[in-house]
Structure 1
């Protein structure tokens, strides 16, 4: 029986779309966002694969400066522009389905927590603004194991901190690579398929697939014995 619901943060809980406006503020196209974010993940994971580490903010800012400098016709101050875009992480909102889902999970006796390649401090601000911070048992990031997900050490850190067996933890993520990493580390996993995309066949399959986070509480509590009344 699942005891802990462990959420990825960027794109799973947090909606990054407002960063498009920040990019446009500095004269870059908003559609650069997916390329920048994917490059940040690539470089952070690459460092982990090489046995090194840098935190999300450093990797993201360095990558963005490179992208801006390489834009045709762009002649701004890359360092200042990147700082402006990066500050937008402090203003992100959650996706609309998050608050109700988290409240329902907590009410059902499940223990919400987070594990992000980003910053636990940024996660705290995100959940505070959504009014659900107090429902989360732990806000974890990869700075302690110094290994980005999907490295096994990241998931082991969460298991150790939460104090439950891996198969009692359900990771929820929009990223198939995160689902795969969690499964290989012995956790259960749910894929939040917000974009209605096919799941990559080379990855370990999720135990559950949902398109709206509000479907998760009923899915996890179906068939559970009721508390005596």
Structure 2
């Protein structure tokens, strides 16, 4: 079946979740943070994701900005850093995350081929709008879908329903792309064609489903979708 719609996870897939910590580490006077920014950023991301899964399991939803702040607070404390100014700076930078270098041209190629493009993310609408604007990719996206519309985080099946509500059509006409293996696996189980962007060469998660495709970055997406 022909792919008509390409849907992307946002954080870690289109936007570099390490960009905020990396940029802060390069600023003057951040020596203590610069010495361990990579570990702090990894813990921040780990806790951010864990808190979405746990809240979905608990049935106690909050917005993604809250779990982003809570994940950062955990990470800073875990690594022995108490610096309110640094915390504020990291949160500010998270609203302006850089897109991966291949993202603009990849999305432009999809649009030039007549594909419909969208984001489906745990991010709140305000966070996503800020990231899209900062990256300058709003003109190559047809929709920015947030799980806030259903009040539960991915990989709850209702979150993937948002794609059909926005575009209609068979699920097998959707190529769903994520850097989170668990997200791509769940989307496979839902019925999408999936691509896992495995930037760190990790093993596949042991889950009921597997990603249909695996790649190291997003440059091959137009070819995979039949747009090149």
What's the TM-score bracket when you normalise by the shorter of the two chains?
Answer: 0.7 to 0.9
2:141 alignment counterpart: 136
Q: Determine which of 174, 180, 183 is the counterpart of 1:178.
A: 183
Q: Please state how far the C-alpha of 1:7 moved relative to its aligned partner.
A: 0.2
Q: Please state how far the C-alpha of 1:149 moved relative to its aligned partner.
A: 0.7
Structure 1 residues not aligned, in runs of 5+:
225-229
1:11 alignment counterpart: 12
- After superposition, where does 1:94-133 map in structure 2 within 5 Å? 94-133=99-138
Task: Report the Cα distance in structure 2 between the residues aligned to 1:22 and 1:118, rounded to whole angstroms.
Answer: 21
Q: Please state how far the C-alpha of 1:22 moved relative to its aligned partner.
A: 5.7
2:59 is equivalent to residue 51 of structure 1: yes
2:12 is equivalent to residue 20 of structure 1: no
Task: Report the Cα distance in structure 1 between the residues aligned to 2:215 and 2:77, rounded to whole angstroms.
Answer: 39
1:38 alignment counterpart: 46
**Aligned length, in residue pairs:** 220
Q: Please state how far the C-alpha of 1:128 moved relative to its aligned partner.
A: 3.0
Q: Is the 8 A contact 1:176 1:203 kept in 2?
A: no
Structure 1 residues 41 and 217, CA gap change in structure 2 (3 angstroms): same
Q: Is the 8 A contact 1:40 1:59 kept in 2?
A: yes
1:162 alignment counterpart: 167
Structure 2 residues not aligned, in runs of 5+:
none
TM-score by length of 1: 0.86
Task: Report the Cα distance in structure 2 between the residues aligned to 1:60 and 1:70, rounded to whole angstroms.
Answer: 15
Structure 1 residues 163 and 135, CA gap change in structure 2 (3 angstroms): same
Deviations 1:19-39 (A, max 9, x none): 224664495430211111111
